[in-house]
Amino acid sequence: MRIITAWVRVEVMVKYRVTVDRSACIGCGVAPTVCGKVFMLGTDNGKNRVVPKYEVDGNEDVSVGEIPEELLDCVKTAAESCPASAIKVERID
């Protein structure tokens, strides 16, 4: 009898949803400074938004993005630094 054992490595891509409350944002620029890969000040109203690469929905009042796990730390830093508490991040299950 022949027994074959195989290990299969499964990598799960964890994503996070980032929500910027643009109506609360005061446009201080901290978020794009500490996490420029995810945030930028919009040309529409000068308030923070998720960059087009990661934005999945947005308007002048809110910007929603989905980011990979490797960007979580800089998003958390931006959220913790925000004087308006305008950035939220949550895991997508």
- Count of residues near ligand SF4 by CB under 6 A: 15
Q: How far apart are CA 67 and CA 88, in angstroms?
A: 12
Q: Please, how many CA atoms are within 13 Å of residue 53, restricted to the half-sphere of its CB?
A: 8
Contact positions with ligand SF4 (CB under 6 A) in 51-70: none
Decide: helix, strand or coil at residue 32.
Answer: helix
Binding piece for ligand SF4, criterion CB under 6 A, among 9-17, 57-65, 68-76, 80-88: 80-88
Query: What minimum distance in Å lies between the beta carbon of 40 and ligand SF4?
Result: 10
User: For residue 34, which phi and psi values (nearest 5 degrees)?
Assistant: -85, -15
The contact set with ligand SF4 (CB under 6 A) reads 20, 25-31, 48, 81-84, 86-87
